[in-house]
């Protein structure tokens, strides 16, 4: 049982990051789909890395430089896995007029002007927000925002159909039962409440509510969700949680 749990965590780590993990960790799509439970735990590793890096880098560089370096570190942990989905989703929504045309644009590996500008604005927003964080809440938010970003993937996948016909990487993560979301949300709520109190829990719940409405929006515009919309929601949830914590603590 313990070996199975560890293996699912390693599958999630392998899928979401570039950390070197042994090959052939899973033999079926079900195993890959079941690893979604551990997505927030992978986020905890990434958030812990950011918090530790922030602690040491602040003794060397000015705050704005550290904020930029943290974003680079986060990017390097997965080589822009979620950013790619963010850009593809916005390109599809901006360029398509039907569900089919939007999905076709999203499948194109080329980045359009809308996607490129949007990711620049996203980086600008995250950079400004992380720079605005101060005090003990800064370390806590840096640790938590990657966790909540990956929790939002589970929230979007809960009970939601896959938009494309046939196969696709997002298919194995779609239409999950509510128990996965319930348990992962409960687990994530514990460190959030300890580190940031009731205000942090409120920001977490607000992020999940926003995720729910984005899920409804994608269901209407695309007929469901895709791997790209997971990436989009991860990035949006990360930025939103940081913004909410700034609004609460500043």
DSSP per position, 194-247: HHHHHHHHHHHHHHHHHHHHHHHHHHHHHSSB-HHHHHHHHHHHHHHHHHHHHH
CA torsion sign for 227, 228, 231, 237 is: negative
Each residue's pLDDT, cut to its tens digit, for the chain (250 residues) gives 677 788 889 989 998 999 877 767 766 777 888 899 999 999 999 999 999 999 999 999 999 999 999 999 999 999 888 999 999 999 999 988 899 999 999 988 888 889 999 999 999 999 999 999 988 899 999 999 999 999 999 999 998 889 887 666 677 888 888 999 999 999 999 999 999 999 999 999 999 999 999 999 999 999 999 999 999 999 999 999 999 999 987 6
Residue 232 CA to chain centroid, in angstroms?
A: 8
Q: In angstroms, rounded to a whole number, what is the distance separating the alpha carbons of residues 130 and 63? A: 9
| Residue 168 pLDDT | 64
Burial grade of 222 (CB within 10 A; 0-12, 13-18, 19 or more): buried
| Residue 73 pLDDT | 96
206 phi-psi bin (left φ>0, alpha ψ -120 to 50, beta other): alpha
- Strand-pairing partners, residue 158, are 176
Predicted TM-score of the model (pTM):
0.94
């Amino acid at each position: 049982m313990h070996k199975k749990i560890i293996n699912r965590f390693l599958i999630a780590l392998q899928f979401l990051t570039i950390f070197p993990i042994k090959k052939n960790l899973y033999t079926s799509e079900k195993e890959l789909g079941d690893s979604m439970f551990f997505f927030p735990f992978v986020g905890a590793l990434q958030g812990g890395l950011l918090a530790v890096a922030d602690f040491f880098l602040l003794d060397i560089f000015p705050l704005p430089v550290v904020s930029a370096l943290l974003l680079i570190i986060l990017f390097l942990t997965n080589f822009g896995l979620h950013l790619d989905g963010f850009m593809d989703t916005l390109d599809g929504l901006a360029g398509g007029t039907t569900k089919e045309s939007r999905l076709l644009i999203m499948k194109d590996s080329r980045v359009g002007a809308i996607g490129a500008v949007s990711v620049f604005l996203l980086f600008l927003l995250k950079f400004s927000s992380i720079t605005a964080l101060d005090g003990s809440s800064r370390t806590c938010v840096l640790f938590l925002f990657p966790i909540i970003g990956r929790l939002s993937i589970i929230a979007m996948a809960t009970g939601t159909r896959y938009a494309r016909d046939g196969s696709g990487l997002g298919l194995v993560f779609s239409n999950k039962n509510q128990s996965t979301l319930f348990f992962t949300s409960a687990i994530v709520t514990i460190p959030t409440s300890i580190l940031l109190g009731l205000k942090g829990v409120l920001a977490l719940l607000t992020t999940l509510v926003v995720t729910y409405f984005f899920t409804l929006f994608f269901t209407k515009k695309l007929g469901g969700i895709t791997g790209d919309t997971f990436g989009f929601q991860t990035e949006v949830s990360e930025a939103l949680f940081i913004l909410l914590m700034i609004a609460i603590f500043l």
